[in-house]
Amino acid sequence: MHCKTLAIFCATCFLASAQPPPRDTIAKPLSEKEKKKRDRNLGKELSSAYDSWEKSDVAYIITDEERQAFHRLSNDEERDRFVEQFWLRRDPTPDTEENEFKEEHYRRIAYANERFASGIPGWKTDRGQIYIRYGPPAEIESHPAGGQYQRSLEEGGGATVTFPFEKWRYRYLENVGTDIVIEFVDCTNSGEYRMTTDPSEKDALSHVPGYQQPRAQRNQFEILERDVNLRRPPAVKFKDLEAAVTSSIRYDTLPMKVKTDFVAVTPTSVLSNITLQFERKDLQFQQKEGYSKAVINLYARISTMSRRTVNIFEDVIAVDALTGTLEKATAGLSIYQKAAPLAPGRYRLNIAAKDVVGGNTASYETVLDVPQFE
């Protein structure tokens, strides 16, 4: 009896598992309209990520030229390369894998959010902005509760009552000057300190009718100039890569694919094969005497991570076709290969290409990791 019951139970389970799933649980294929909507939403998410990088992550350190160049980018591959080069130009030790500047920058953002938040994120406050740009000051004079204060002679002298305020002193700031004192005042007692160029702004008695504010002995033109310089992005450390950053936007109008392969030659030498691929439909052909010809000028440089040049090669890639077969000629690929012997290690590969007839150009930069073969 027990065996019969068990057999009936097993048969029931088998039949249940053989039944098709309920109609409403079957995944329906997306329509073309739904696919387009999904792709649009994905594109918006990606765009918002790059937009957030520009307006939040590097808002205070990106230069106007870099910002304009970033806005001219046409695809995410170029944006990724731009971001990579952006940090590379500021790396104090480019021959190492760590980028100390980038790490310190994000540490400053975290610190600003932790210490200066006041209804808005700390990185958006004036103190956060200065801290992210220039790091911690050499000295801080803090008056978190305001109150009685003795003015300096530069501020007009005398005693007064102030709002909460802070004075930050930097011994030297590039493109700003030496012995820089920056003042922040919390006029609303809300915890948000605003940067000011007017020392009387912290004076709480200035709002009392009939109060005579002492005249400060300061050059207003110098103060305004210093304020403008303080709000500029810090100087880029490595100017020699400035052209590379610009070229990744301005000149990437010629599609180009790059591939590298490595072949062991000796224990201390590896043959590095660099392959470039162009689609002929992207090239401009010039017709002359029954022939159609496209020409690409090529320049490439291999350098160490500390920017010591190891190998340079220049070449001309020519694509010929009979005028009558131009349509067929433009349907294929043009492939160029170059082999360079290198010692195992890490290198930087820079390539620039130009379509002579059409004027379109391409730039490419990547890290070349030459392996150590046993």
Query: What's the pTM value of the predicted model, to 2 decimals?
Result: 0.55
Q: What pLDDT does 323 receive?
A: 57
DSSP state of 57: I
d(CA 197, CA 130): 14
Token reading at 264 = 């062991």
Instruction: Specify the 3-state DSSP secondary structure of 283.
Output: coil
Instruction: Work out the burial of residue 223: count CB atoms within 10 Å of its CB; fewer than 13 is exposed, 13-18 middle, 19 or more buried.
Output: middle
Residues 6 or more apart whose CB falls under 8 angstroms from that of 234 comprise: 61, 133, 134, 174, 175
Q: What pLDDT does 150 receive?
A: 85
Q: What pLDDT does 6 receive?
A: 41
d(CA 239, CA 262): 32
Token reading at 247 = 């070229």
Q: How far is CA 118 from the centre of its chain?
A: 27
Q: What pLDDT does 125 receive?
A: 94
Token reading at 187 = 């006029």
Residues 6 or more apart whose CB falls under 8 angstroms from that of 273 comprise: 260, 261, 262, 263, 337, 338, 339
Separation of first and last alpha carbons in the chain = 71
Do 335 and 315 meet the contact criterion of CB atoms below 8 Å apart?
no
d(CA 100, CA 255): 33
Q: What pLDDT does 18 receive?
A: 44
* pLDDT tens for the chain, residues 1 to 374: 444 444 444 444 444 444 444 444 444 566 666 656 655 554 455 467 888 899 999 999 998 888 888 888 888 888 888 888 888 888 887 767 788 899 999 999 999 999 999 889 999 999 999 999 999 999 999 999 988 888 877 777 788 889 999 999 999 998 888 999 999 999 888 888 999 888 888 888 877 766 666 666 666 677 778 888 888 888 776 554 444 444 444 445 788 899 999 988 887 888 999 999 998 888 888 877 777 888 899 888 898 877 778 888 888 888 877 655 556 666 778 889 998 888 888 888 988 888 888 888 888 888 888 988 87
91 phi, psi to nearest 5 deg: -75, 115
DSSP state of 55: I
DSSP state of 98: -
d(CA 226, CA 224): 5
d(CA 308, CA 124): 40
Residue corresponding to tokens 């995944």: 27
Q: What pLDDT does 118 receive?
A: 87
Q: How far is CA 169 from the centre of its chain?
A: 30
DSSP state of 151: -
